[in-house]
Amino acid sequence: MGLSKKSGLGRTFGRRCRMVLLLTAFLFLSGCAREEGGLPDDPADSENPTDYEETLPPDPVYDEANVLYVAPAGNDAGNDGSLAAPFRTIARALERADAGKSIVLRGGTYRETVRVRLPNITIRSQTGEWAVIQCPVNDPDLDVTVLFDVDASGGKLQRLEIVGGYYYGVMFQTKWDWGNANDRSGASRMLVEDCRIHDSGRDCVKITPGCDDIVIRRCEIFRSGRRDDGNAEGIDNVNGDRMTVEDCRIHDIATNGLYFKGGAQGCVVQRNLVYSCGGGGIMVGFDTSPEFFDLQANPGFYESLNGTVRNNIIYDTGYAGIGIYASSKPRIYNNTVYNAASRGQNALHFGISFQDWEPTAKRPPTLEPDIRNNIFVQAAGGDEHVVRIRYADELGGLSALSGMPVMSHNLYFRIGGGACLFYDQRPGSFAQGMSLAQWQAHIKGDGDSLQADPLLDVQKKLSASSPAINRGRNNTVVRYDIDRAVRDGTYDIGGDEYDN
């Protein structure tokens, strides 16, 4: 199954693969702030506080009436897709389906690619059973295991195991490069819930430009890059607005656990467990080719705008636990980052986006980040700095941050002991090896933060004696911890609220 013949985006990404690999290595291997009062004291004081309020997702809803059935022992030739006479393949059910149909898979394994072309199609396992859709990773003609085509908005994947794909396990396709500047939309308003997506050739989930309002919840996403481990994220979102990733477990990822970049606006990543990543954990922005930006909505070439990362636990990453690249107003609240950046970078890393070194790109520094109530623990043997603000001499000089960040109530630690050090590489601010006290004076912020062993248990949650307990700052847009428990009293620092 190829990508849409009208869309060369998949081929464009393929042509850029070598450049991406080289750029990624450069970003990783080459190596906060503004006065505290310079921004609203709390995001709830901003003009649209409801944009950032944390809510719990609803329980799943299944359509039991408008259904076609598929079973491994079914028959495509003579059956009608009823429960008593199911089809044998998902492809046959999609041929017979109208928009809005649910395709229910009986338990078993379906060795086929799935391409959804109609809107509002749901594919799910039969209640009480479990279906697996599987493709090999070594057949370039089977490039995606489950593809939602450009007109398939409103689709759902529920309670499925999705395995393999030469490139991707699940992909949402776009009209971005079809040549019509007035319609660069893609498959949008999608839901992926209660699924296992794993062992993909490259990325497990691929979101292309214009594929907006995609929700991924209660999923396990793991073992990306089984064919090509050089550019293989758990979730790769390039300019898909308002993505929500919540209550997921993302692990054993070849490169980054997840990122949203290319001008993605209003993305929320909350209450996820992200661990064992060869690259970074959660990247707010990263580095994108200029052709994938919407310059009407984002003339400044920001990689991310108004992104929120909260109540996540991230551990055992090769590079940054949380990386912030060319992002406008990112909000980073109540995350636990542990044993991060063992190969390079920092537990909290302000990075630079080179955007293919194109003359037209702007490569902006991150603007007005708000970072509170987080635990940042740097791995032993990695860079000695827990936090770094990068600067690069290329292209006339590039800074990773404009001004100083708003920070407070964070906890810092280095595994193996020793002082937590901070590094601002920018000219005029150059300060290497700063102590926490020097860092606080330097950025005129990060008040009520401390250096201490967070005393986490094996699940990277707070133990009874943790110094993070009751040391946070209450925040009206952080209501729950990673276990969906309500935070009360004085908030704890990190993704876990102790004893809730």
In order, the DSSP letters of 356-368 are GG-TT---PPEE-
Q: What's the pLDDT band for 417 if we cut at 50, 70, 90? A: confident
Tell me how far apart the alpha carbons of residues 196 and 160 are, in angstroms, rounded to a whole number: 6
413: Cβ contacts below 8 Å, ≥ 6 apart: 375, 376, 377, 378, 386, 420, 451, 452, 453, 454
Per-residue pLDDT, 316: 98
Per-residue pLDDT, 348: 98
Per-residue pLDDT, 500: 82
In the numeric block, which tokens belong to residue 426?
């920018």
Q: Is residue 473 domain-resident? A: no
Is the per-residue pLDDT at 467 higher than 60? yes
DSSP, collapsed to helix, strand or coil, labels residue 455 as coil
Per-residue pLDDT, 1: 31
Amino acid at 223: R
Residue 403 vs residues 301, 378, 410, 416, 444: alpha-carbon distances, Å? 18, 24, 19, 32, 11
Per-residue pLDDT, 136: 98
Q: Write the Ramachandran bin of 256: left for phi over 0, alpha for psi from -120 to 50, otherwise beta.
A: beta
Instruction: Report the number of distinct structural domains present in the chain.
Output: 1
- For 91-146, give the DSSP string: HHHHHHPPTT-EEEEPSEEE-S-EEE-STT-EEEEPTT--EEEE--SS-TT--EEE
Identify the CATH number of the domain in which residue 346 sits.
Answer: 2.160.20.10
Tell me how far apart the alpha carbons of residues 331 and 310 are, in angstroms, rounded to a whole number: 8
Burial of 411 (0-12, 13-18, 19+ CB in 10 A): buried
pLDDT digits 0-9 by tens, 142-179:
999 999 999 999 999 999 999 999 999 999 999 999 98
Q: Is residue 482 domain-resident? A: no
Are 441 and 407 a contacting pair, CB within 8 Å? no
195: Cβ contacts below 8 Å, ≥ 6 apart: 157, 158, 159, 160, 161, 162, 219, 220
Q: What are phi and psi of 334, to 5 degrees?
A: 50, 50
Of residues 318, 389, 300, 407, the one with CA closest to residue 351: 389
Span 344-358, average pLDDT: 97
Name the more confident of 451 and 476: 451
Tell me how far apart the alpha carbons of residues 56 and 74 are, in angstroms, rounded to a whole number: 38
| Per-residue buried b or exposed e for 245-265, using 16+ beta carbons within 10 Å of the residue's own CB | bbbbebbbbbbbbbbbbbbbb
Q: Is residue 161 domain-resident? A: yes
Q: Is residue 57 domain-resident? A: yes
Span 38-42, average pLDDT: 37
Q: What are phi and psi of 38, to 5 degrees?
A: -75, -10
308: Cβ contacts below 8 Å, ≥ 6 apart: 52, 267, 268, 269, 270, 330, 331, 333, 477
pLDDT digits 0-9 by tens, 432-451:
999 999 999 999 999 999 99
Per-residue pLDDT, 26: 43
pLDDT digits 0-9 by tens, 258-301:
999 999 999 999 999 999 999 999 999 999 999 999 999 999 99
Q: Is residue 481 domain-resident? A: no
End-to-end CA distance of the chain: 48
Tell me how far apart the alpha carbons of residues 391 and 394 are, in angstroms, rounded to a whole number: 9
Q: Radius of gyration (Cα) for the chain, nearest Å?
A: 23
Mean pLDDT over each residue of the chain, to the nearest integer = 91
Is the per-residue pLDDT at 4 higher than 90? no
- Structural domain that includes position 377: 9-451
Are 491 and 469 a contacting pair, CB within 8 Å? no
Are 319 and 28 a contacting pair, CB within 8 Å? yes
Q: Is residue 463 domain-resident? A: no
In the numeric block, which tokens belong to residue 258?
């997840």
Amino acid at 360: T
Are 154 and 187 a contacting pair, CB within 8 Å? no
DSSP, collapsed to helix, strand or coil, labels residue 11 as helix
- For 58-70, give the DSSP string: PPP----SSEEEE
Tell me how far apart the alpha carbons of residues 336 and 461 are, in angstroms, rounded to a whole number: 8
Q: Is the pTM of this model over 0.95?
A: no
Per-residue pLDDT, 382: 87
Q: What are phi and psi of 486, to 5 degrees?
A: -70, 130
pLDDT digits 0-9 by tens, 107-156:
999 999 999 999 999 999 999 999 999 999 999 999 999 999 999 999 99
500: Cβ contacts below 8 Å, ≥ 6 apart: 481, 483, 485, 486, 487, 488
DSSP state of 323: E
In the numeric block, the tokens 């064992």 are attached to 276
pLDDT digits 0-9 by tens, 217-269:
999 999 999 999 999 999 999 999 999 999 999 999 999 999 999 999 999 99
In the numeric block, which tokens belong to residue 4?
């849409």
For the chain, percent of residues with pLDDT exceeding 70: 90
Q: What's the pLDDT band for 51 if we cut at 50, 70, 90? A: low
